[in-house]
Amino acid sequence: MTDSELKKLSRVQLLELLLALREEADKLEQENRELRDNLSEAKKVSEELSGIIRRTAAGVAKLCGGSLPEAGVEVAENE
């Protein structure tokens, strides 16, 4: 909406527009919070899966004689 269009609006119309914009901002803020929460949860799951993969790779490396160099996995003697 252009400045000239805004100037032609009545006070009631401007207040209605302001209310609609506030509602949209609130809705977007809520969506943003939900997305941040989802991202945080996804990061936790990713970290857990990375740990499982590392432990599994170390176990496979141990079974294969101590290392899987192409995967960057080496097992210490005391594992």
Residue ranges of domains in the chain: 12-74
Contacts of 60 (CB under 8 A, 6+ apart): 68, 73
The predicted structure's pLDDT at residue 7: 86
Q: Compute the distance between CA of residue 17 and CA of residue 14 in angstroms, rounded to an integer.
A: 5
Please give the radius of gyration of the chain, using alpha carbons only, rounded to the nearest integer: 28
Q: Compute the distance between CA of residue 5 and CA of residue 45 in angstroms, rounded to an integer.
A: 50
What end-to-end distance do the CA atoms of the chain give, in Å? 68
Residuewise pLDDT in 10s, the chain (79 residues): 888 988 899 999 999 999 999 999 999 999 999 999 999 999 999 999 999 998 888 888 888 876 665 555 555 555 4
- Say whether 31 sits in a helix, a strand or coil: helix
